[in-house]
Amino acid sequence: MEFEKPAEIERESMRIIDGELLSRGVALPEETRAVVKRVIHTTADFDYAENLRFTPDAVARAVAALRGGAWIVTDTNMALAGISKPALRRLGGEARCHMAEPFVAEEARTRGVTRAVVSMDFAAEQTPHAVFAVGNAPTALLRLAEHIENGLRPALVVGVPVGFVNVAESKERALAVCGKCGVPAIVALGRKGGSGVAAAICNALLYAAAELTEPEKRGGG
């Protein structure tokens, strides 16, 4: 059977994912199912059924915040590009990435820190109640954890940086700090992650918030 329309392809992909999860004996909780399946759909990696961690009610709280017009802040322009702009507009929200802004690079040089740190400092000041989606820089995630310990209360922290240096440690710290401070968080433990994963998590939440879970309603995107 051939599938030509994007919505048909997505539906068949999700059917395959459901079947493989079943064959692996994996039963996803109802609240987190759409997020985990969206990440698997994006990566074709079923490890995310095991390594994605959610603080209590993280999905419900994030969906409520997005319905209230919460912004999304990413640590890469790649993640920013992958986030559904039609869903955001439908909810009255916006998405931003400050990494490429000239003042960020200049301040990073002056302070001797990464641009990711400066961009998180700026976003924490300008949009403190945003969804913060980190898919690349562990320094961004560690900086967010510091801000949360000092009183920042974002709508959600998505912690999925990818790599080998300080990556697993940054995720564990962020998850612990968010849990302690009552901040919703979705974190991929271990080395795996990336900008595509960050965008996939945001999109799963946006589709739920904007009532666009059926692919036909968004053209399969």
pLDDT, one tens digit per residue, over 15-52 is 999 999 999 999 999 999 999 999 999 999 999 999 99
The reply to whether 69 falls in a domain is yes
The reply to whether 38 falls in a domain is no
The reply to whether 7 falls in a domain is no
Choose the catalytic residue: 41, 98, 129, 147: 41
The reply to whether 62 falls in a domain is yes
State yes or no: is 129 an active-site residue. no
Range of the domain at 169: 47-216
- What is the number of domains present in the chain? 1
For residue 163, give the CATH number of its domain. 3.40.50.10230
- Burial class from Cβ neighbours inside 10 Å (0-12, 13-18, 19+) for residue 194 reads buried
pLDDT tens-digit profile of 57-74? Answer: 999 999 999 999 999 999
72-74 and 52-54 strand pairing = unpaired
The reply to whether 135 falls in a domain is yes
The reply to whether 13 falls in a domain is no
pLDDT confidence of residue 141: 98
Residue 28 phi/psi, 5° resolution? -80, 140
